[in-house]
Structure 1
Amino acid sequence: MQQRKLGKDGPEVGAIGLGCMSFAGAYGKISEAEAHRVLAAALDLGVTHLDTALIYGGGVSESYIGSFIKDHPNRFTIATKAGIVTKPERRFDNTEAYLRESLEGSLKRLGVDHVDLFYIHRRQQDIPIEDVMATMVKFKEEGKIGGIGLSEIAPYTLRRAAKVHPVMAVQNEYSLWTRLPELGLLQACAELGTAFVAFSSVGRGIFSNRMPVIEELPENDFRRNNPRFMEPNYSLNKAIVSRFNEYANSQGMSPATMANAWVLQKGEHVIAIPGTRSPEHLAENAKAADIVLTEAQLAEIDRLLPVGFAYGDRYSDTQTIGPERYC
């Protein structure tokens, strides 16, 4: 698989990674054995970057990864995240004490003494980012993390943070129907030598030959309360996206493959981490790393899915608390 660097001085990883929120049941139940089958397929496909987080099942995702890598050590570059507190109510905590406690728990569940990349999952706005970075630098100096990451941030936060210490990666949502990073964040990452890690690069499953059937989703599925998957928006979105999906198939690739290839072509510093519970879907995602879309294909994609085509916001009012807004 094509390799890309996690930051200017970071390790090389496959251009397509694996987002492991799916291991926590966010899109339906998955057993440890099923998660292990996906991880085994990742090794076969050259998918070497795993992205997880403390809140993914309260550590379930990390535990599934930990039990797998116990028998497959040193095969993956692993990132995890902390900073979101879910109980008794949702809030954000970027204090050193909480981040340290979270990191220690993640290391224990993963069965390692070091993670390659550690993200602030969401900003706590009343703590200056400079202070948060100072905490992260401590973790790096202690050998607990290899690099510092920030998630769902604005370009101005990245620029402030980078003055304290280089930021290895920024992780924000980016796909054919979520284009905000093009308004400054992709550019700031390239300028500062920071990898841009795109999550939900297949639009939470809409760029696929089997678009989600809302009535069939589990009650706790994230998409049930997401504006783009609620009516009347969802029917309108499906009608538009179906034309793209048909076009991808006509070009000899799945919609997921084409959607991921489009993301990767937005810069050499871009890495995509689509999530899945299926080895077959993982293989579709991985194919994107070896595809270069032609100018004609890119033009047709722009015609079918023009900027801003999606009906509905990417998050509801409740879901949007935490990500930094800009532009």
Structure 2
Amino acid sequence: MQQRILGRTGRTISAIGLGTWQLGADWGDVDESSAFDVLRASVDAGVTFFDTADVYGDGRSEQFIGRFLAQHPDLEITVATKMGRRGPQDPAQFTLDNFRAWTDRSRENLGVDTLDLVQLHCPPTPVFSSDAVYDALDTLVAEQRIANYGVSVETCDEALAAIARPGTASVQIIVNAFRLKPLDEVLPAAAAAGVGIIVRVPLASGLLSGKYTAETTFPASDHRNYNRDGSAFDVGETFAGVDFETGVRAAQEFAALVPEGVTPAAAALSWVSNLDGVSTVIPGARNRAQAEGNAAAGSVELPAEFDAGVHDIYDRFFREAVHPRW
């Protein structure tokens, strides 16, 4: 597993991490035994970075991680959590008092005194330009509630605003073969500033696994069912911002690019993790096999022409429809 420095945190982490939204049972039911199996398999495969949030299963994901790490105190794992979506999405809610309450809850869930990294969880756009917000985050660091802070964003402009702040350690943003806009400005700006980039949704909510057809259905509780059109949160947060059938066709062409002996998912993870400026990629996993497959993608080598093929598919299926959006 390749190792990278996570921006201004100075921490060394694995190039392939683990996203744990699914452990909160927001992608269908995951029991504690299955959750621990995913965490253990990821660690065994060299993963040293877990990403979670206080709203994943209303804290369930954080609690699983906290109990797992308490049982394995020898592990050197960096845990990033998020805050800011437990209340109304009003910039006035992003205050020091609320930050203290939210981080205290996460500290309890994770069983730690100081959180490794706390990210604002896709807050309203004005939050990214608020001096008071960054002053409050600096106060949390001074109080040792958190060691570092970063942001999770929906748009490139939000990312650039956060990168310009001297205390921002990392930016979490959607980047995948169907979401290339961050390559234009965000990744170069982050690299120049020494800010880490955490890539979320690297498989376009599973589209890039090559397993879906236009007839694929998902459980009622799965965000891939209820957020296909962006009604629950931002358009393109689930899948790629185009209609599902178009995404499936693009995924079929992507799969045709993949070298023999490599899965589409492994190719997608390898490609995005090796982009200049990317610190780590956080695919989710619901079982041991998925966790092992994700981690193994860190050692996949792709032919030189693969990148050109990715850009060609993006230009034909996505650029006109989604590039201006984010």
TM-score normalised over the length of structure 1: 0.86
- After superposition, residues 223-262 of structure 1 pair within 5 angstroms as 223-224=224-225, 225-227=227-229, 233-248=243-258, 250-262=259-271
- The 5 Å alignment of 1:165-184 reads 165-184=166-185
Equivalent position of 2:86 in the other structure: 85
- 1:192 and 1:311 map into 2 onto residues whose CA distance is 27
2:119 aligns with 119
Shift of 1:302: 3.2
Cross-structure match for 1:24? 24
Q: Per-residue displacement from partner, 1:129-155 (whole Å, max 9, x unpaired)?
A: 321111111111222222110111655
Q: What secondary structure sits across from 1:70 in the alignment? A: helix
- 1:150 is matched with which residue? 151
**1: distance between equivalents of 2:155 and 2:168?**
13
Distance 1:212 1:97 in 2: 47
Single out whichever of 257-266 and 218-227 deviates more from structure 2. 218-227
Tell me the distance in 2 between the aligned counterparts of 1:218 and 1:153. 25
Structure 1: tracts of 5 or more residues without a match: 315-324
User: How many angstroms apart in 2 are the aligned matches of 1:213 and 1:282?
Assistant: 26
Seen in structure 2, the aligned counterparts of structure 1 residues 159 and 211 have a Cα distance that, compared at 3 Å, is: closer
Contact 2:228 2:244 in 1 (8 A): no
What residue in structure 2 maps to residue 107 of structure 1?
Answer: 107
Shift of 1:67: 1.2
Task: Measure, in 2, the Cα distance between the counterparts of 1:32 and 1:311.
Answer: 41
Q: Secondary structure at the match of 1:169?
A: strand
Aligned identity (percent) is 28
Separation of aligned partners in 2, 1:162 and 1:287: 31
| Residue number in structure 2 paired with 1:47 | 47
5+ residue gaps, structure 2, are 230-235
2:132 corresponding residue in structure 1 = 131
Question: In the alignment, what sits opposite 1:321?
Answer: none
> Which whole-Å CA distance do the structure 2 matches of 1:291 and 1:146 have between them?
33
Match of 2:272 among 258, 263, 267: 263
Bigger shift: 162-171 or 282-291? 162-171
For residue 270 of structure 1, report the CA deviation from its aligned partner. Answer: 3.3
In the alignment, does 2:311 pair up with 1:302?
A: yes
Shift of 1:209: 4.1
CA distance in 2, matches of 1:102, 1:3: 30
Checking the alignment, whether the CA contact within 8 Å between 1:114 and 1:144 is kept in structure 2 is yes
| CA deviation profile, 1:70-102 (whole Å, cap 9, x unmatched) | 10124310000001135xx65563211111101
Alpha-carbon distance in 2 for matches of 1:161, 1:296: 34
Per the normalisation by structure 2, the TM-score is 0.86
State the distance in 2 between where 1:153 and 1:13 align: 24
Paired positions, count:
313
Residue 188 of structure 1 corresponds to 189
- Can you list the C-alpha shifts for 1:10-62, whole angstroms capped at 9, x where unaligned? 20100001111011122111001100000000110011100000111110110
Q: Which residue of 1 aligns with 2:284?
A: 275
User: Kindly tell me: are residues 63 and 192 of structure 1, through their superposed partners in 2, closer, same or farther at Cα, counting changes over 3 Å?
Assistant: same
Deviation at residue 8 of structure 1 after TM alignment = 4.0
Tell me by how many angstroms 1:63 deviates. Answer: 0.8
* Aligned partners of 1:130 and 1:164 also within 8 Å: no
Contact 1:161 1:167 in 2 (8 A): yes
SS at match of 2:64: helix
User: For residues 121 and 313 of structure 1, do their structure 2 counterparts lie closer, same or farther at Cα, with a shift above 3 Å needed?
Assistant: farther
SS at match of 1:62: helix
C-alpha distance in 1, partners of 2:300/2:187?
Answer: 21
